[in-house]
């Protein structure tokens, strides 16, 4: 898989819409025909399931001795892994937070007449694996072939309940096709797991308590240092041809692994099914002293209710989610499949139920990036939640507000005032330990500020801004004011020694995007303070007094904002990404041999740093955030120059470029980049899906359709649409929430229809013309060519 970028070049180079050969094209499922051990970790990522509370990779219930990353994770449960660097520098974080790989509860070993089932060493046929996206259910089946030719069918089904996120259910059905057999099931819990990427090979877990009796098995593990207790409990039920069956449970315990053996004689053509009911509860949510009792009771209650009832309850929740969040596309099954897959993973990963949680770049699908929150959330993922459920977006903002004191401490460790939000965090403290990122990629602050602006503009609700947001904005502005350098020879302010969004250039001076967004943040902070003073002078005076904000400080901020330096090339008519960028050999992505992609897997870091190639949207990120500041010709010149040099080796990049391409009229390019974003993981376009899915960029896929193709934004305090239909599509539709209303938007070949599903009458703009929308009368406008 790694290095195979044939699909990438097809998508970037032509209108070809063929889906990946890895999975069957289908609007509602991801289907794999045949097992490919060389890409087992890739498919484990693709078939990951989650329910916001916990997640599990798509590894095998019956065990697999080949290459695999068995991963089961619980949101918010982490370990502070000691920082590993070659040269310690003042200000470095002491640890890198890692999402802990917890008790493996998926295990259901299977023996047939004494032979252990293991696809790494045995013979089998008709392997099929299907993710039913409509129900968020994973099934897998194959026919096992014994050495003497006897054949046995096996089917595995799993789901993580969205109705009760502390529950997961597994069903394993075994059918001897042409022989009688003794089928042995070995359901188990295994706490002897490790994090594969631990810096020093440390074990992150200690066993606290266990229980093994005929009715329920439980295992409580405690994370070292952070002392999270995670109790996992299981119970099982047996069925023969669908009817309940009793069987002796023979207990076993091997190290931190404990479970039962259940032997069942099965005649030819009959089916025996083991249903495994799992509860996973933590001390984050329950008192430690009653944790085991709570967890075992939950598992036993699930067993009493049964697989069918729990699946129906889970399916009902999924149906309700799809009724609100689905995006329908007619005429492009590749795009439809990709978009639905992205939405499904977002819905399974984060729904805002726990305001102490955020969205890690890999969600709950792998260990890379540690599982902490990055600026990815605000930079790319935020619009998905803002436009569909503003309450969830507000929770994401509150997450950052709660971490303000830690962000101030982070800035202080660097000798600076104000607040520097961490590059990666679990609890507000910085836990990223690459110096060019930790110390220099300070633009992340701007994404936090921009999310506050986006929320306030979209919802029209200023309560968050006035109650919480201004305190964050003032702290960030103080950081920028302390971080800039005044250049008296040019009478301007500069930001030196930074890394912009393009991480293929480090320690540069005057990254245009960083300078732009620093000045914008200061400007927005000052404007918001003035707005508060006009609307509530008493509240303004109290805030200014509490924060110790003086007129002199504000005056200096205004000077910084007005005198910020922006690198610009008159001859090319473009913003220079950073000082010295144009001194590089200005070749383009078209000059790179296909076998060299992705660069980060084939080139030395030295070669990458000396090249002009851009990892992700940098200047274009600024055009995306602040489009009204630049006319279309300016945006086109900069897009043309930098898109030709962008390799999109960050998952955050294609969606941003797609939105800007839509805005400037590059519809074909916008579609190509949208499709790349939508199918990034399904086609392993960056060659690293084996490490986990790119969760935060999946929100960007949705935004590329809604903000890009549909041209949705707020304009003159009204919802505004400027939609078009990508070539070859017959229709697309989606729903949004806007200021207490729920709207259904459909774009067809000749018109756009906006219907009001709930809420009061609303006036909107379509192609800058006003339309009134009510429950009885949708807005219908002709689609512009």
Contact 260, 217 (CB under 8 A): yes
* Tally of residues, the chain: 785
The catalytic position among 61, 378, 503, 683 is 503
Contact 116, 109 (CB under 8 A): yes
The torsion angles phi and psi of 704, rounded to 5 degrees, stand at -65, -30
Give the integer Cα–Cα distance in Å for 359 and 383.
13
Name every residue whose Cβ is closer than 8 Å to that of residue 421 and which is 6 or more positions away in sequence: 375, 400, 403, 407, 410, 444, 445, 448, 476
Whose tokens are 């192609």? That residue is: 767
Contact 735, 693 (CB under 8 A): no
Give the integer Cα–Cα distance in Å for 156 and 138.
8
370 dihedral zone (left: phi>0; alpha: psi -120 to 50; beta):
left
Give the integer Cα–Cα distance in Å for 606 and 504.
10
Give the integer Cα–Cα distance in Å for 347 and 374.
19
Tokens of 190: 């295994």
728 DSSP 8-state letter = T
Name every residue whose Cβ is closer than 8 Å to that of residue 559 and which is 6 or more positions away in sequence: 493
Give the integer Cα–Cα distance in Å for 235 and 749.
54
Give the integer Cα–Cα distance in Å for 182 and 170.
21
The verdict on whether 737 is a catalytic residue reads no
Contact 220, 229 (CB under 8 A): yes
Contact 230, 279 (CB under 8 A): no
Give the integer Cα–Cα distance in Å for 314 and 107.
22
Q: Which residues pair with 763 in a beta bridge?
A: 772
Cis peptide before 598 (omega within 30 of 0): yes
Contact 705, 724 (CB under 8 A): no
Give the integer Cα–Cα distance in Å for 705 and 698.
12
**Which positions are annotated as active-site residues?**
503
């Amino acid at each position: 898989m790694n290095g195979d970028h044939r699909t990438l070049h097809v998508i970037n180079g032509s209108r070809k819409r063929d889906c990946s050969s890895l999975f069957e094209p289908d609007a509602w499922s991801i289907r794999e025909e045949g097992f490919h051990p060389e890409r087992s970790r890739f498919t484990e990522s693709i078939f990951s399931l989650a329910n916001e509370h916990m997640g599990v990779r798509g590894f095998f219930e019956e065990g697999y001795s080949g290459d695999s990353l068995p991963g089961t994770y619980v949101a918010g449960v982490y370990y502070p892994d000691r920082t590993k660097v070659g040269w310690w520098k003042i200000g470095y974080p002491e640890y890198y937070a890692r999402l802990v790989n917890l008790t493996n509860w998926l295990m259901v070993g299977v023996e047939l007449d004494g032979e252990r089932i293991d696809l790494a060493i045995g013979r089998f046929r008709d392997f099929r694996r299907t993710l039913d996206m409509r129900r968020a259910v994973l099934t897998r089946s194959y026919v096992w072939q014994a050495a003497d030719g006897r054949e046995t069918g096996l089917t595995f089904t799993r789901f993580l309940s969205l109705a009760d996120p502390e529950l997961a259910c597994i069903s394993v059905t075994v059918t001897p096709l042409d022989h009688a057999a003794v089928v042995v099931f070995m359901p188990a819990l295994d706490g002897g797991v490790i994090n594969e990427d631990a810096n020093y090979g440390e074990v992150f877990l200690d066993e606290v308590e266990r229980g093994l009796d005929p009715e329920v098995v439980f295992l409580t593990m405690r994370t070292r240092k952070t002392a999270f207790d995670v109790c996992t409990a299981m119970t099982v039920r047996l069925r023969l041809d669908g009817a309940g069956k009793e069987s002796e449970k023979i207990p076993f315990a091997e190290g931190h692994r404990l479970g039962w053996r259940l032997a069942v004689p099965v005649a030819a053509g009959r089916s025996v099914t083991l249903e495994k009911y799992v509860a996973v509860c933590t001390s984050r949510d329950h008192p430690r002293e009653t944790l085991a009792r709570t967890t075992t009771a939950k598992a036993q209650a699930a067993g009493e209710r049964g697989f069918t009832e729990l699946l129906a309850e889970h399916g009902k929740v999924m149906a309700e989610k799809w009724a609100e969040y689905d995006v329908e596309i007619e005429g492009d099954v590749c795009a439809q499949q990709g978009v639905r897959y992205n939405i499904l993973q977002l819905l399974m990963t984060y729904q805002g139920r726990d305001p102490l949680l955020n969205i890690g770049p890999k969600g709950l699908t792998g260990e890379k990036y540690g599982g902490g929150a990055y600026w990815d959330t605000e930079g790319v993922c935020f619009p998905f939640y803002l436009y569909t459920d503003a309450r969830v977006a507000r929770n994401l903002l509150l997450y950052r507000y709660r971490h303000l004191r830690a962000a101030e401490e982070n800035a202080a460790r660097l000798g600076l005032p104000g607040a520097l939000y961490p590059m990666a965090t679990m609890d507000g403290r910085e836990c990223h330990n690459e110096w060019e990122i930790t110390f220099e990629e300070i633009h992340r602050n701007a994404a936090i500020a921009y999310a506050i602006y986006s929320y306030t503009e979209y919802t029209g609700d200023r309560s968050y801004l006035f109650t919480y947001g201004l305190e964050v904005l003032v702290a960030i502005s103080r950081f920028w004011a302390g971080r800039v350098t005044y250049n008296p020879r040019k009478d301007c302010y500069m930001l030196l020694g930074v890394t912009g969004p393009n991480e293929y250039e480090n320690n540069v001076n005057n990254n245009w995007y960083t300078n732009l967004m620093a000045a914008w943040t200061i400007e927005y902070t000052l404007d918001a303070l003035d707005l508060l003073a006009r609307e509530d002078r008493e509240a303004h005076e109290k805030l200014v007094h509490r924060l110790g904000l003086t007129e002199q400080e504000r005056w200096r901020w205004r000077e910084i904002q007005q005198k910020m330096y922006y690198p610009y090339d008159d001859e090319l008519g473009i913003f220079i990404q950073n000082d010295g960028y144009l001194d590089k050999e200005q070749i383009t992505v078209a000059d790179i041999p296909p076998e060299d992609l992705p660069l980060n897997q084939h080139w030395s870091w030295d070669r990458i740093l000396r090249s002009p190639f851009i990892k992700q949207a940098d200047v274009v990120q600024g055009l995306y955030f602040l489009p009204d500041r630049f006319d279309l010709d300016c945006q086109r010149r900069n897009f043309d120059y930098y898109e030709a040099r962008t390799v999109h080796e960050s998952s955050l990049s294609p969606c941003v470029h797609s939105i800007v391409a839509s805005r400037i009229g590059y519809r074909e390019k916008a579609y190509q980049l949208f499709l790349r974003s939508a199918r990034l993981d399904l086609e392993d376009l960056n060659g690293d899906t084996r490490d986990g899915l790119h969760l935060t960029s999946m929100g960007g896929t949705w935004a590329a359709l809604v903000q890009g193709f549909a041209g949705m934004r707020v304009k003159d305090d009204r919802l505004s649409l400027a939609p078009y239909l990508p070539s070859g599509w017959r229709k697309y539709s989606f729903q949004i929430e806007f200021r207490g209303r729920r709207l259904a938007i459909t774009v067809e070949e000749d018109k756009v229809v906006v219907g009001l599903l709930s809420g009061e009458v609303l006036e909107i703009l379509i192609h800058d013309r006003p339309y009134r929308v009510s429950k009885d009368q949708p807005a219908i406008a002709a689609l512009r060519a």
